[in-house]
Structure 1
Amino acid sequence: MKKYWKPIILFAIILVTFSIYYVYGALAKEELPELELVTVSDKNNIAENITIEGNYENGRMSWNEFKLTAQDMMDYSDLGYLERLNNSYSHVNTAKLIEDYRGFMRGKNERELLYEDEGRVVYVGPYSQGKGKNKFEVAILDKVKNEEKDVTVKIAEEAGFEYMYIEEIQAAGDKIYVFTSNYYRDGEQLRVYEIDINEEKITDQKTLEILPADSYYSILNNFGNIKEEPYLVYKVEENKWDEETGEGEVISLEVKSYHVQSGEQRTITLPPEWDKNIDANNMYDVHSSNHYVIKDEFIYFIIHVEDRIDIYPYHLEKNELGEVRHIPLEPTVSEGVVGYFAAGEDFSFISSVGENGSNQRKLFIIDLDNAEIQYEGDIKITNANREMLPYLIEFNDVYID
């Protein structure tokens, strides 16, 4: 019997440890807040397709992530260890692909490396590579035939090349377009590589931008989208920095479009009221009052001005800026805005108003085509103890599936 006492004690310690872990987790959960999304108005019946992601401070100096829909709230702290490892934090569109095509999607959860249309899913990797690697790994899933094709495409070596990373994937017919940031000893470039699937090689490459010092670019297309987009839209900023304060000022701003199939590149006319120093750095810049949304052949310039939201539609094919349209806001709603989000092909914002004071938020989703609020919902915080302060709950993104 003595020879078994060590494994018995070890098993007992493991059992007690797991018991304490789960009991503590269950007790801690009783103190955590619950959120509920309640529809107030819904003109286009989109409530069932809305997903809100965020996080909250759980009272133990750490943050819990959550996902909120009209049906329920998913608290990531409720997920098992393996569930968290298995892409639980994937973007909603990527998660859908993982659910539908688990075999093909194994190890392919980076949104910017994926493209999907009705007949196929395309993956191009790796996300980043340095000098000496020089290749794209391409995987294509035929969704109809359930067949996979894997191709390795060589990239020609270049003098002074250091490394690259992939920004965006698009496809049309037998062509795949890979947009990359390339870094060289003397600067950075925005590139696009055209891959012919049948020939299994790069058949064309273009340099869209060569960035001077103190300049950078940002792709403005909706980060969550993995569908076909006819245009890639990006901005290029040149900054001037104060050496004493370390603060920067935007001295020039250009917004440009690139038609994926034709390769035509244009400079876009900005609205006269557009302030280049406060526009969104990217789609996740939730605190900026100026935003861009790209939808089909339009780019919408969105400006929050006092008690209204101004929308300027710009037709990318016609290269034409349309007339401004206004959406009036209640003063309390306008003053309480805590975040702006590109909700798929729409635009949304969250305001800290409501019948429960600062313990409630309101979600508004704008129909950009018709310049009107198409959805209003209350985000109610329940089951929060008195120490759970409202500002400890943050909203990171809004999706419309």
Structure 2
Amino acid sequence: MRIKKYWKMVLLVTVIVFTVGAYYVQSRFAAAQYPDFVIRKVSGDEREAEPILIHSTYHEGEGENLWIRAGGSEYWREQSYFERLKGANSFSFTKHLQKKYRNFMRGKEENDNSFFEDRDFVGYAAIETNLLRGYEPTDFAFTVACLDKKRKDTVSFRLPVPDREQYRIVYVEKVHVINGVMKVMTTNERPDGSTEDHVYTIDWRRKKMLNDEKIFSFVHDDGGSGYMTAFVVKDDRKRRDRYAVFAKMRVEDVEGEDGQTITNTKNVELAIYDLETGERRTERLPEQAIAGAEPALVSGSTLYFQKLAENGIQIIAYDLEKGKIISDRVFAVPRSERDSSLRDSIIKLTNERIYVAVPDTDAKTGKILIGDLKSGKTLYEGRIAAKEGGDLPKGYRITLLDLNVEGTF
């Protein structure tokens, strides 16, 4: 009887292996029938395009996830089971940390905003709620962990959120470890609809809350034609910048000359927080200088704003230490009748670069542009195209979804 049972198990495993194997063979064979795409150079240094990964959807009947690089492309069905588990963005900061610090990362939320890393420490802070008792404001607490790379020692603990009974929900926006403390930047929403931005200072070695600073307070819906919002401006993680910048502004949707809706920003107010000293100052920027521009990147002591211009993308550089605009330039995006509106573009500012992907009107290809934020020079221009010798079927379409740059987060 025991031998009979073993034979059944062996047979079941064999069937499963054969079925899964047949599925992947069939998937790869089907993907092989699809065209291979590349990012083909039009001008500039082609090395600039090497770290780019364009996430898109290929349509020929059914839709299929497609990732395009300078050297070729890969369809979702070509990926292994484990590659699919990683999700669409394998370039995320969380994925990067999971590869390097498996033990430390075990059981932690996959939210890039909750993590920090420099040459000495890996920091983590997330909001924990006890859903077993229902969603109650009194449940809010920080789950904190810090890895000392040199000592190979991890400190983990839980701290209640100060005045937690006053909030409906709390989000972690940014974490920074410096001078023996952890700075946790959050957005806190109250039941009455008002929102606050906070900086919590935590002594992670002594597992103690040191300070709770309220940066901004505002009502999201003030009854006007738009709404108020505030956020922590993205930074270049590799630089470990000294400043964290909170931006508060009013957002309004207006109708453009072509009848399409345009999103405008106004009344931009900055809170510039010095991570080393804990000092902060508030600045309201001149409306005429940055009208319609949105804070997009903090790099060193420079805050970059971005805005769509008539012939390209306007980048305004604001010096946080001098308190003034130091450059205002437009990265020209060469246009043709086949290009879609720049409002449909994907724009990324990172690593002192601007990356732009512009789809064409019939969704057959797309234009790629890379520029240097400091000099204003265009470093590379390319197009998404079929690999040499490849045939493109009639009726296909490509929808550009996202642009990632390897090595940046």
TM-score tier, shorter chain, comes to 0.7 to 0.9
Does the CA-based 8 Å contact 1:293-1:347 persist in structure 2? no
Does residue 378 of structure 2 align to residue 373 of structure 1? yes
Question: Which shows bigger deviation, 78-87 or 365-374?
Answer: 78-87
Q: For residue 98 of structure 1, what is the amino acid of its counterpart?
A: Q
Does the CA-based 8 Å contact 2:356-2:369 persist in structure 1? yes
Q: For residue 115 of structure 1, what is the amino acid of its counterpart?
A: F
1:91 and 1:199 mapped to 2: Cα distance? Answer: 34
Alpha-carbon distance, 1:165 to partner: 1.5
Does residue 312 of structure 2 align to residue 340 of structure 1? no
- Unpaired runs of 5+ residues, structure 1, are 281-290
Does the CA-based 8 Å contact 2:346-2:402 persist in structure 1? no
SS state of the match for residue 386, structure 1? coil
1:300 and 1:332 mapped to 2: Cα distance? Answer: 28
2:248 and 2:112 mapped to 1: Cα distance? Answer: 23
Does residue 367 of structure 2 align to residue 362 of structure 1? yes
Distance 1:120 1:156, change over 3 A: same
1:12 and 1:327 mapped to 2: Cα distance? Answer: 59
Alpha-carbon distance, 1:65 to partner: 4.7
Distance 1:73 1:126, change over 3 A: farther
* 1:258 equivalent in structure 2: 272
Matches within 5 A, 1:165-176: 165-176=171-182
List per-residue Cα deviations over 1:94-141 (Å, max 9, x = no partner). 333222222222344321111111222111124777523332222222
Alpha-carbon distance, 1:145 to partner: 3.5
* 1:137 equivalent in structure 2: 143
* 1:283 equivalent in structure 2: none
SS state of the match for residue 29, structure 1? helix
Distance 1:81 1:312, change over 3 A: same
Distance 1:78 1:141, change over 3 A: farther
Matches within 5 A, 1:203-352: 203-214=210-221, 215-219=227-231, 221-222=233-234, 225=237, 228-238=240-250, 252-261=266-275, 262-270=278-286, 272=288, 274-276=290-292, 279=293, 292-332=296-336, 336=340, 337=342, 338-345=344-351, 346-352=353-359
1:224 and 1:384 mapped to 2: Cα distance? Answer: 40
SS state of the match for residue 233, structure 2? coil
Distance 1:90 1:331, change over 3 A: closer
* 1:396 equivalent in structure 2: 402
Instruction: Say which of 171, 196, 199 aligns to 1:192.
Output: 199
Does the CA-based 8 Å contact 2:174-2:232 persist in structure 1? no
Q: For residue 349 of structure 1, what is the amino acid of its counterpart?
A: V
Matches within 5 A, 1:77-116: 77-86=77-86, 89-108=89-108, 109-116=110-117
Does residue 13 of structure 2 align to residue 29 of structure 1? no
* 1:117 equivalent in structure 2: 118
Distance 1:73 1:222, change over 3 A: farther
Alpha-carbon distance, 1:90 to partner: 3.9
2:81 and 2:165 mapped to 1: Cα distance? Answer: 45
Q: For residue 175 of structure 2, what is the amino acid of its counterpart?
A: I
Distance 1:85 1:297, change over 3 A: same
Question: Which shows bigger deviation, 172-181 or 223-232?
Answer: 223-232
Identity of aligned residues (%): 20
1:71 and 1:143 mapped to 2: Cα distance? Answer: 36
1:39 and 1:272 mapped to 2: Cα distance? Answer: 38
Does the CA-based 8 Å contact 2:140-2:164 persist in structure 1? no
Does the CA-based 8 Å contact 1:127-1:165 persist in structure 2? no
* 2:154 equivalent in structure 1: 148
Distance 1:174 1:11, change over 3 A: closer
* 1:288 equivalent in structure 2: none
Normalising by the residue count of structure 1, what TM-score does the alignment of the two structures yield? 0.79
Q: For residue 351 of structure 1, what is the amino acid of its counterpart?
A: V
Q: For residue 149 of structure 1, what is the amino acid of its counterpart?
A: V
Distance 1:44 1:368, change over 3 A: farther
Does the CA-based 8 Å contact 1:134-1:157 persist in structure 2? no
Distance 1:223 1:314, change over 3 A: closer
Does the CA-based 8 Å contact 2:249-2:268 persist in structure 1? yes
Normalising by the residue count of structure 2, what TM-score does the alignment of the two structures yield? 0.77
List per-residue Cα deviations over 1:203-222 (Å, max 9, x = no partner). 01111121224144243533
2:316 and 2:310 mapped to 1: Cα distance? Answer: 17
Alpha-carbon distance, 1:313 to partner: 1.5
Does residue 169 of structure 2 align to residue 163 of structure 1? yes
Distance 1:116 1:11, change over 3 A: closer
Distance 1:323 1:17, change over 3 A: closer
* 2:133 equivalent in structure 1: none
1:334 and 1:230 mapped to 2: Cα distance? Answer: 43
Aligned residues: 379
1:254 and 1:248 mapped to 2: Cα distance? Answer: 17
Matches within 5 A, 1:36-51: 36-42=38-44, 46-48=48-50, 50-51=51-52
1:168 and 1:334 mapped to 2: Cα distance? Answer: 40
SS state of the match for residue 255, structure 1? strand
Computed over aligned residues only, the root mean square deviation of the Cα atoms, in angstroms, reads 3.7
Does the CA-based 8 Å contact 2:346-2:358 persist in structure 1? no
Question: Which shows bigger deviation, 12-21 or 190-199?
Answer: 12-21
Distance 1:43 1:316, change over 3 A: farther
